[in-house]
């Protein structure tokens, strides 16, 4: 079977995307894998540091153990998402040992997020992780620009953010960043936002985001590598579908499946019911929202 790097490269060439489903609770792994298989798609099961700090996924080893129970190499692989150099609470993170652990555990790809650093600092941190990943024969994702939403407290009004282009990835900086780091995939900011993860905000429906597709075109031309959209939940469907044709080859989805799981668990007290809610919503994301049902054969070969 093709490796994750080849699969994402194929997605970029074909104008489709590989969804990456974040699992802040370990019981979500099984329904996500089942949904991807039943939709005959290909996807990543993803875990980010904030999901074991602010939720209950426990860490890379625990997620890998659960993933191994349900793994289906024809349909899913496992991705280490968002390992920040400076986190959403402005705390420095000892990020290299986390990446090294994930590589030892057998993760198929890794992500370092140095987006809260200066451009030079982000390049240096990313280059270190790229070297580790490439030595292990796996791809490395990085982030440039500010995909807001994980920080504590409310965001400014969305329309204000979009009109101002606050945090949007700069094409000139992106070209330099990719050239100097040799990262494989680049997470970009073009109007997308993360779902809130703290306090009462984490239970609220995300604002419907839209994407600056012309800006995305500029980034694709500047970088020449597969681009990644974080904060995929809640983006206008027509913008999401258009973004896949303009270089977005991986789409991260978290809030869209986390909230149904949490609501079902809170209302029923049953993990079985919560898993069912997660399964149903994952199927909806793949089939109805992204239109990727049946895409596995295109990507895996």
What number of residues does the chain have? 301
Any idea what the CATH number is for the domain that residue 216 is in? Answer: 3.20.20.70
Percent pLDDT > 90 in the chain is 79
For tokens 């149904």, what's the residue?
260
pLDDT at position 205: 60
184 is catalytic: no
pLDDT at position 202: 52
CA atoms of 262 and 270, how far apart (whole Å) = 10
Containing structural domain, residue 131: 4-300
Q: Give the other-Cβ count within 10 Å of 298's Cβ.
A: 15
Q: What is the pLDDT of residues 130-154, one digit of tens each?
A: 999 999 999 999 999 876 655 455 6
Residues of the chain with pLDDT under 70: 1-2, 147-160, 162-166, 194-208
pLDDT at position 209: 79
Residue from 103, 69, 78 nearest 4 by CA:
78
Catalytic site residue from 72, 81, 113, 170: 81
89, with CB counted inside 10 A (0-12, 13-18, 19+), is middle
Q: Give the other-Cβ count within 10 Å of 268's Cβ.
A: 13
At residue 209, the 3 state secondary structure works out as strand
Q: What is the dihedral of CA 92, 96, 98, 104, to 10 degrees?
A: 180
Question: What are the two backbone dihedrals, phi and then psi, of residue 179, each rounded to the nearest 5 degrees?
Answer: -65, -45
**pTM for the whole structure:** 0.91
pLDDT at position 291: 97
Domain total in the chain: 1
């Amino acid at each position: 079977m093709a490796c994750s790097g080849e699969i994402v490269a194929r997605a970029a060439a074909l104008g489709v995307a590989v969804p990456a489903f974040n699992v802040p609770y370990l019981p979500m792994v099984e329904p996500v894998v089942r949904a991807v298989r039943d939709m005959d798609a290909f996807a990543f099961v993803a875990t980010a540091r904030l999901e074991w700090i602010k939720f209950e996924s426990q860490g890379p080893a625990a997620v890998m153990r659960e993933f191994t129970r349900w793994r289906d190499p024809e349909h899913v692989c496992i991705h280490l998402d968002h390992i920040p150099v400076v986190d959403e609470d402005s705390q420095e993170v000892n990020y290299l040992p986390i990446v090294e652990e994930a590589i030892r555990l057998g993760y198929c790809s890794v992500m370092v997020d140095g987006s809260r650093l200066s451009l030079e600092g982000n390049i240096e941190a990313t280059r270190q992780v790229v070297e580790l990943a490439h030595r292990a024969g796996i791809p490395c994702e990085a982030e440039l620009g500010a995909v807001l939403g994980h920080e504590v407290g409310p965001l400014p009004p969305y329309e204000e953010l979009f009109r101002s282009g606050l945090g949007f990835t700069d094409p000139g900086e992106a070209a330099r960043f990719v050239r100097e780091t040799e990262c494989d995939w680049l997470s970009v900011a073009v109007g997308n936002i993360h779902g809130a993860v703290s306090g009462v905000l984490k239970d609220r429906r995300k604002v419907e985001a839209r994407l600056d597709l012309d800006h995305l075109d500029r980034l694709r031309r500047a970088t020449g590598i597969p681009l990644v959209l974080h904060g995929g939940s809640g983006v206008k469907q027509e913008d999401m579908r258009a973004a896949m044709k303009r270089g977005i080859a991986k789409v991260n989805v978290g809030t869209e499946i986390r909230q149904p799981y949490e609501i079902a668990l809170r209302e029923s007290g049953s993990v079985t019911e919560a898993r069912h809610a997660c399964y149903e919503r994952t199927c909806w994301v793949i089939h109805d929202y992204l239109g990727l049902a049946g895409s596995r054969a295109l990507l895996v070969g």
